[in-house]
A and B are shown apart, each in its own frame.
Chain A
Amino acid sequence: MSEADLIPVYIMGKRYMVPPTLTIMKAMEWAGYTLIRGVGCRGGFCGACATTYRVLGDPKLYFGLACQTVVQPNMYLAQIPFFPAQRSTYDIRELEPTATTLFSTYPEVLRCLGCGACTKACPQDIDVRAYMAAGMKGDIAKMADLSFDCIMCGLCAARCPAEEAQYNIAILARRLYGRYLAPRSEHLCERLGELKAGAFDAALEELKGLDEDELMRRYKARDIEPK
């Protein structure tokens, strides 16, 4: 890449010339950074690389994941690899899946102003305000569903004027839903009963003792369940 093709970006206020095709994360490495903070899965799943940026001449703040966002000229970048968000401790086995549980574990739920700063900051495009509204109504199932794609990067909490830690509240809702509200799987219970009664022990014992030829014969003879 020739020098002429490079574009300026500002990492923590310092100017670097980088190729325009890179993600923010790769641009930082291209500039010489060995990343320790603000880097994790590099695939958009872990929330380690939450980044706030502004572009020269534009007063608006933008938000994104450094591993998923391509650089643009005159970006001013600041990483937020850690945010000191409130988190409550609880024993999931002792809770009931009710509004009362939500409000007693996180009383600040009711302080939400509904301003939507969280929704604007979310790099996953989750409507954080909507799931917080569901939480204020005690609708755990809706809060769990709407927040499902959360990667817990903390940008919502960083922007919240009511000092909520939305993502920590949301995982409580999801765990309450998964443990208590999701419909039970009878076939799983039945299988567990069979396993405990040793229903498959003999079959497994036999399989473990087979030689490769016989295993291959049985493998090839398997019937495949249709799609």
Chain B
Amino acid sequence: MSGYPREMQESIRKVEATRARRIQETFPAMSMAERDAILEGFHPDYKDETFHAIRAGVSKGQRMPIELAKIVEGRPHIGPDFDLSDPFGETDVLVIGGGGAGAAAALLAQENGARVTVVTKLRFGDANTMMAQGGIQAADRPEDSPAIHYLDVIGGGHFTNVPELVEALVMDAPFVIEWLENLGMMFDKNPDGTMFEQHGGGTSRKRMHSARDYSGAEIMRTLRDEVRNREEGITVTEFAPAVELVMDDRGQVSGAVVMNLETGVHHFIKAKAVVLATGGGGRLHYQGFPTTNHYGATADGVVLAYRVGTPLGYLESMQYHPTGAAFPEQIVGLLVTEKVRGLGAQPVNKDGEQFVYPLEPRDVEAASFIRECKARGNGLVSPTGQPGVWLDSPMIEMIQGPGTIKKALPAMVRQFGRFDIDITQEPMLVYPTLHYQNGGVRLRADTSTEVPGLFIAGEVSGGVHGHNRLMGNSLLEITVFGRRAGRSAAAYVQQVKPGTPTLAHVEAWNRELDEAGVDTGVVSPILLPDYTRKE
């Protein structure tokens, strides 16, 4: 059933010819010096001309991708004279974002006594959480420990991670697994009840828990179902993205202005605390890269938090997932889960030869794919001009046994099967794709920020992963810090003394931009990417 054109099939014959030999061989992993050299030479983060230092706000001078800087330096949707006197709704904790972090925060805030409102840009659950395939890390086997997990995380992040955040991540991890299972999540298990756990890139122990290759979807739909069961304590409003945070005259957050995405009307939702869980920004397509991210991933939270004075960090590093689909054209950029390599598939070049250790940290693996194609000329080029290397999926069944792929990777089988490519028989063409925002809004381990009443959880935050996140630590991050944010926000609303709502910061922001001569011509957050055809 090959959906590959003839030229590509010729290369596949070479991949098949070397397969039996390659199964016996493992390409050596890089030394730290080799890692540094390949990152500097080939990783997109090292292309200086694609970065820009922002010219206003508390993190003035910080470098970030030009596309992101442009919206961070953007103008608000509403003016300081927007009427706040008659709130559309009132709540204790306003959760902005209906992904995994937002859902976890809503549940814990409600359990801890708060009234909760969740607003989300698209549907509840339309989020990167839903798309995460590979799994969630937690050190829960006797061979493993939170300390070993800590070392893996901080080494993968190039020793730049915030220690207290990493500690929270690894120490909460087993509790999160228990929590998810008690909510009814179906983990992959062996018949004796032990968790089925695999390696991911950069792990020194097998600690990747999964739910087939719908790990994120299984977490998201379980949390969403639970939120819906608590309708008396949690109100969910869909198609209502936040366009501006609202402060009060005591310098505390007091809610947000949200927009009805269908009517364009703005509403003030008054709250004693806000949990910002808006996710990342892959839909900004840094350097023109395709992305694995969902449609609404436009870095809104970074913009919102920054305008009320919350420092940003680590936004000079973005994660390019090594294995985005590179063929067929219709699915270019979509994720091919790292679990494929975790199960034993090797990346190989057009001649069917290995050129990199299959499970380097993601940035290193991605840079090596770019080098193989751009500098060494050993990649393939699809009929539409997309470069790529092979990910040799058929060898999984030679290692793990027949039927493994269909059982462990049903989403991948289905994805490629729709285009007549049978990944149990043929390899996949892959190339790095924009995947994850390593940086974001700075936070403390309890998810609080410099701004009283503002709590942060999930991909919108920066610091826990340093400059590079390992597979399986984002589903962990959204649950660990989502839960912490819900708990922290509920405790905060017990003691806060709310003041009078104000949008004075909007006026101050506009003035600062004017004085700095900054006018990017953008109103932000941008909410959605523009994919309509330009003549």
Contact = CB atoms under 8 A, between A and B. Distances in A.
Interface in B191-210: 191-195, 199, 204-206
Interface string A175-186: 111110011111
B504 interface: no
B334 A43 contact: yes
B113 interface: no
B193 to A, nearest CB: 3
A48 to B, nearest CB: 6
A179 B192 contact: no
A7 interface: no
Contact of B192 (A87, A183, A192): A183
A139 B249 CA distance: 58
A222 B151 contact: yes
B186 A149 contact: no
Contacts of B143: 225
Interface string A53-91: 000000000000000111000000000000000010111
B414 A175 contact: no
Nearest to B415: A44
A148 B532 contact: no
A208 B163 contact: yes
B167 interface: yes
B21 interface: no
B261 A36 contact: yes
A185 B186 contact: no
B130 A46 contact: yes
A188 B194 CA distance: 8
Contacts of B211: 148
Contacts of A41: 126-128, 130-131, 294-295
A157 interface: no
B76 to A, nearest CB: 21
B414 A191 contact: no
Interface residues of A, number: 72
Interface in B336-359: 344
A96 interface: no
B530 interface: yes
Interface stretch (B43-51, B218-226, B308-316, B509-517): B218-226
Given A43-B131, A43-B292, A188 B140 contact: yes
A174 interface: yes
A3 interface: no
B88 interface: no
Nearest to A70: B330
B530 to A, nearest CB: 7
Interface of A: 21-23, 26, 29-37, 39-46, 48, 68-70, 87, 89-93, 124-125, 144, 148-149, 151-152, 171, 174-179, 182-188, 190-192, 195, 200, 203-204, 207-208, 212, 215-216, 218-220, 222-225, 227
23 contacts: A21-B329, A26-B531, A30-B533, A34-B530, A36-B261, A40-B295, A42-B295, A43-B331, A125-B414, A148-B186, A151-B217, A171-B225, A185-B140, A187-B142, A195-B174, A204-B167, A207-B150, A208-B164, A215-B155, A216-B159, A218-B151, A219-B151, A222-B204
Interface of B: 32, 122-123, 125-128, 130-131, 139-143, 145-148, 150-152, 154-155, 159, 163-164, 167, 170-171, 174-175, 177-178, 181-187, 189, 191-195, 199, 204-206, 211-212, 214, 216-217, 221-222, 225-226, 228-229, 231, 239, 261-262, 292, 294-295, 329-331, 334-335, 344, 410-411, 414-415, 418, 528, 530-533
